[in-house]
Amino acid sequence: MASLKLRYGCNPHQATASLSAQGDLPVTVLNGSPGYINFLDALNSWQLVKELKEASGRTAAASFKHVSPAGAALAAPLSDEMRKVCQLGNLELTPAAQAYALARGGDRMSSFGDWAALSDEVDEATALIIKREVSDGVIAPSYTKKALEILRVKKGGKYNVVQINPSYEPPAQELRSVFGVTFEQTRNARIMTKKDLGNIVTGNRNLSDSVRDDLVLAMITLKYTQSNSVCYVKNGQVIGVGAGQQSRIHCTRLAGDKADIWYLRQHPKALNLPFRKGLSRPEKDNAIDLYLRDDITAVERKFWREAFDREPEVLTREEKAEWIAGNRGVSLGSDAFFPFRDNIDRAAKSGVRYIVQPGGSVRDDGVIEACDEYGMVMACTGVRLFHH
Task: Tell me how far apart the alpha carbons of residues 284 and 134 are, in angstroms, rounded to a whole number.
Answer: 13
Using alpha carbons only, how large is the chain's radius of gyration in Å? 21
Establish whether 66 is a catalytic residue: yes
Task: Tell me how far apart the alpha carbons of residues 167 and 170 are, in angstroms, rounded to a whole number.
Answer: 10
Task: Tell me how far apart the alpha carbons of residues 84 and 246 are, in angstroms, rounded to a whole number.
Answer: 35
Q: What is the DSSP letter of 275?
A: B
Residue 312: phi, psi to the nearest 5?
-75, 155
- Other beta carbons less than 10 A from residue 66's beta carbon: 16
Catalytic residue among 13, 145, 277, 388: 388
Task: Tell me how far apart the alpha carbons of residues 367 and 150 are, in angstroms, rounded to a whole number.
Answer: 50
Q: What is the DSSP letter of 5?
A: E
Establish whether 65 is a catalytic residue: yes
Question: Which pairing describes strands 377-380 and 237-243: parallel, antiparallel, or unpaired?
Answer: unpaired
Catalytic residue among 50, 65, 223, 234: 65
Count Cα atoms within 13 angstroms, Cβ side, for 145.
0
Count Cα atoms within 13 angstroms, Cβ side, for 90.
0
Q: 344: which residues sit within 8 A by CB, 6+ positions away?
A: 338, 355, 367, 370, 371, 374, 376
Q: Which of 380, 369, 333 is nearest to 228 (CA)?
A: 333
Q: What is the DSSP letter of 109?
A: T
Catalytic residue among 66, 155, 269, 349: 66
Beta bridge partners of 186: 173
Establish whether 388 is a catalytic residue: yes
Task: Tell me how far apart the alpha carbons of residues 366 and 142 are, in angstroms, rounded to a whole number.
Answer: 48
Contact 231, 324 (CB under 8 A): no
Task: Tell me how far apart the alpha carbons of residues 283 and 296 are, in angstroms, rounded to a whole number.
Answer: 16
Establish whether 387 is a catalytic residue: no
- Other beta carbons less than 10 A from residue 180's beta carbon: 5
Catalytic residue among 38, 44, 160, 228: 228
- Which residues participate in catalysis according to the annotation? 65-66, 228, 388
